[in-house]
Amino acid sequence: MNLFDELDRCVMCGMCSQHCPTYQLTADENESPRGRIALIAALSTGQITTDATVQTHLEHCTGCRACEAYCPSGVHFGAIMDEARALLPSQPAPSTLSSQTTRWLRIYQRSGLQKITRASGLLKPLGLEQKENLLPHIPDTPNWQGYYPAVPDSKHCGDIALFTGCIANIFDREALDASRRLLNALGYGVHVPTTQGCCGAMARHSGRADEAAALAQQNLDAFSKLDIQAIVHTASGCTAHLSEYSQQLRDGQSFVSKVKDISQFLSGLKWPADLPIAPLHKTVALHTPCSLQNVLRQADAPRHLLQRIPELEIVPLAQNTRCCGGAGQYMLEQADFARQLREQTLDALDNISPTEKTRQKIDTLVTSNLGCALHLAAGLREREEAITVTHPVVLLVRQLKLNKLSHSKLTGY
């Protein structure tokens, strides 16, 4: 992408601003997409230099890309911001979880130390309370096999590859496992390439383009030799980034054409009649991540998938077109804005009225992006609300007699 061409495409009409969550919070033009484009244009031509104020306005952008979805001129705001971040002072490397760190965090949770630390009140004066509260339950993460064949008595439909990512491989493990089991039951063999890695979104969105391109190439190499119909993933933020690899890799088009959000792939299939789904007499709230809505353009896929569950009532959140603030590292680095956006999203949960259609108190919030799930679950813990955040595929697989998931308690994030 040529940054100047892309900036020129913007006619400064401002039609995007009303859809921008940071503009909605502040009513400050510098916190709007149009204002940010003006700042980036001035930065890239040397009219201004990067001072702390300019940097703050750019870093406040959640990357939700609502502006892009509503822009009549087709401005690729996400790509502009990725280029602009490379103009900012260098960013620290994103925090990735090593296996050793994960092990210690698991011990912290299971030894009871987490409960003691939280009860002690020590975290607040240390400024760690909010970050520690984001830590979800860390499940066991057994190694993946390279290939899982379709269940023997199913009609073999072909092969699929599962992208497991880095952080998703730990915190979204239940959704990944559920997806793999469901695909096998539907007649698909599932490859899980062991040489795949992080999608590279955090590096790309932090302005480290070379590192992001190297990670994209690693994944391209890991998947390119497989004879597969699709590459599916459970976290829509990472899936959105995978779907744009052709912006970074010249030969990425074949990979990109196969990338699908798991709900998108599953809801487009013809399901066998002998796969009974138990009714669920429940009302769940449905959150739609920005990445699913504004990048993958698959906002309806989770609802279509969940509609397979008899008796289930699905209530979309009123704030579904506005970012919840759980945008990757944003929830840590821009904690104040992230919290304000989350509160608005969770207020929408409170405002779901018990109409004739909703039969009971909502105890489940469904979302398709790991970052949103962790952020919203932390907010619900803080509010002491007994609402579990879960992935649509986990909810669906629990209603199928596939495995122990069907009978286990829904643990959520």
- Residues found near ligand SF4 in the complex (CB under 6 A): 10-16, 19-22, 33-34, 36-37, 61-67, 71, 73, 75, 77
Q: How far is CA 162 from CA 55, 76, 130, in A?
A: 37, 28, 32
Q: Are 190 and 148 in contact (CB under 8 A)?
A: yes
Residue type, 378: A
Q: How far is CA 83 from CA 51, 62, 76, 102, 244, in A?
A: 17, 15, 11, 32, 14
CB of 52 vs ligand SF4, minimal distance in Å:
19
CB closer to ligand SF4, 185 vs 290: 290
CB of 317 vs ligand SF4, minimal distance in Å:
18
Return the structure tokens found at 86. Answer: 């490379």
366 phi, psi to nearest 5 deg: -105, 135
Count of alpha carbons within 13 angstroms of residue 80, beta-carbon side: 27
Q: Are 387 and 364 in contact (CB under 8 A)?
A: yes
Q: Are 291 and 237 in contact (CB under 8 A)?
A: yes
Distance CA 118, CA 237 (A): 30
CB closer to ligand SF4, 64 vs 238: 64
Distance CA 290, CA 323 (A): 6
Cα dihedral 6→12→18→23 (10° resolution): 80
CB of 65 vs ligand SF4, minimal distance in Å:
5
The three-state DSSP-derived secondary structure of 226-282 is CCCCCEEECCHHHHHHHCCHHHCCCCCHHHHHHEEEHHHHHHCCCCCCCCCECCCCC
CB closer to ligand SF4, 58 vs 138: 58
CB closer to ligand SF4, 37 vs 376: 37
SS3 137: coil
Distance CA 116, CA 121 (A): 9
CB closer to ligand SF4, 13 vs 122: 13
CB of 246 vs ligand SF4, minimal distance in Å:
20
CB of 210 vs ligand SF4, minimal distance in Å:
23
CB closer to ligand SF4, 86 vs 410: 86
Contacts of 406 (CB under 8 A, 6+ apart): 397, 398, 399, 400
CB of 73 vs ligand SF4, minimal distance in Å:
4
CB closer to ligand SF4, 68 vs 174: 68
Distance CA 42, CA 273 (A): 60
CB closer to ligand SF4, 59 vs 382: 59
CB of 111 vs ligand SF4, minimal distance in Å:
40
Return the structure tokens found at 321. Answer: 């077109």
Helix axes 370-382, 335-350, angle to 10 degrees: 70
CB closer to ligand SF4, 21 vs 326: 21
CB of 36 vs ligand SF4, minimal distance in Å:
5
CB closer to ligand SF4, 37 vs 338: 37
Nearest CA to 390 out of 401, 405, 402 is that of 405
CB of 22 vs ligand SF4, minimal distance in Å:
5
CB of 375 vs ligand SF4, minimal distance in Å:
15
CB of 48 vs ligand SF4, minimal distance in Å:
18
Return the structure tokens found at 144. Answer: 């993946």
